Chain A
Amino acid sequence: DGGITQSPKYLFRKEGQNVTLSCEQNLNHDAMYWYRQDPGQGLRLIYYSQIVNDFQKGDIAEGYSVSREKKESFPLTVTSAQKNPTAFYLCASSDGGHYSNQPQHFGDGTRLSIL
């Protein structure tokens, strides 16, 4: 079955540490996204990518970095510069590129906490 796989499900970060969240999709979608969700709030876009080797900042990109070396993979690194990283991180993909109105398909998320 096609879908999006995020790992790990739970992640703990120590002070000053960078951590990387994995996102893999086998839907053959061009566009991929990273969102952050805080309790009782909607999704906020961190980064998105329309095509391999290209990505754009969303509204809250500071303290995060991404890469898109393969169509299937879009890992997110939460750097030590992100002072409040505790949140639920969701990866999504969609067909037709960022500007299309195709629905976004989501992974099951990674819950990141500070030790």
Chain B
Amino acid sequence: GQSLEQPSEVTAVEGAIVQINCTYQTSGFYGLSWYQQHDGGAPTFLSYNALDGLEETGRFSSFLSRSDSYGYLLLQELQMKDSASYFCAVRGAGSNYQLIWGAGTKLIIKP
């Protein structure tokens, strides 16, 4: 089967750095995406990795290691508005190439 694993909850302090990990098991691999969702809101796209390495977009970076079936989202200079759930999603060859979503990581930021 296809599955993604990510921690259910992570707590960090405002101004700090936090890393949210995602491991996946899919038949075939066509990219790892990250989305942010505030409570009751719509998911919004953050980043996408198709190749190994680090992609940086402002305070957010995303990393992929295809050999380890692993990726992470790195958030720097945390702000209270970053409190949200973060989802990794992988496109694999199974299930007709649809995105498979992790259960989400709730990021709690303390002042």
Contacts and interface: CB of A to CB of B under 8 A. Distances in A.
A29 B98 CA distance: 17
Chain A interface mostly: loop
B104 A41 contact: yes
Interface in A7-63: 40-45, 48, 56, 58-59
Interface of B: 4, 8, 30-31, 33, 40-45, 48, 50, 87, 89, 91, 95-99, 101-104
A101 interface: yes
Given A59-B95, A98-B98, A99-B97, A106 B104 contact: no
Interface residues of A, number: 21
B91 A90 contact: no
B101 A42 contact: yes
B50 A101 contact: yes
